[in-house]
Amino acid sequence: MKVQKNTLLLLACLVWAAAGFNILRIGVLAYPAYLTVWNLVLSALVFGIFQSFVFGRLVKKHTRRIHGYGDTRQFFLKFFDGKSFAIMAVMMSGGIALRASGAAPERFIAVFYSGLGGALLLAGLLFGRSYAVARRAD
């Protein structure tokens, strides 16, 4: 199924925002017993690192790639490349395995997942902003 290339930005928005919301929700639900200023600083640090060095760059890279497509209609899964789908699969599998194994303490889940989920959610919102800008330009 082919979609308008700008729709790929909307699909990326929905996928990353949903993933971010779910991970953030897991972190926030685990947080009440560990709510300290130090843990909030650590969550903000995790957020900042992932937003600056991973997801912020990912949004820019894929937005440029999508805008660079010559044809206006693209296969709907082309909102990411193979490497990005692999990264997403590894992150999801690792997160599920980590929680299911019980290897990570609840405090880690609260702090890390809140920061990571916030960064993922912001990445989704940035894809949504790119979609809105592209729609206005059409």
What is residue 93's predicted lDDT score, i.e. its pLDDT? 95
Residue 87 clears pLDDT 90, i.e. is over it: no
Q: What is the mean pLDDT of the chain?
A: 94
Query: How many whole angstroms separate alpha carbon 1 and alpha carbon 26?
Result: 33
Residue 113 clears pLDDT 80, i.e. is over it: yes
Q: How many CB atoms are located within 10 Å of the residue 114 CB?
A: 27
Query: How many whole angstroms separate alpha carbon 35 and alpha carbon 12?
Result: 32
Averaged pLDDT, 76-80: 92
Poorest-pLDDT segment among 40-44, 51-55, 80-84:
80-84
What is residue 138's predicted lDDT score, i.e. its pLDDT? 75
Q: Kindly report, residue by residue over 50-60, the tens digit of the pLDDT.
A: 999 999 999 99
Averaged pLDDT, 40-67: 96
Question: 84: closest CA among 42, 48, 127?
Answer: 127
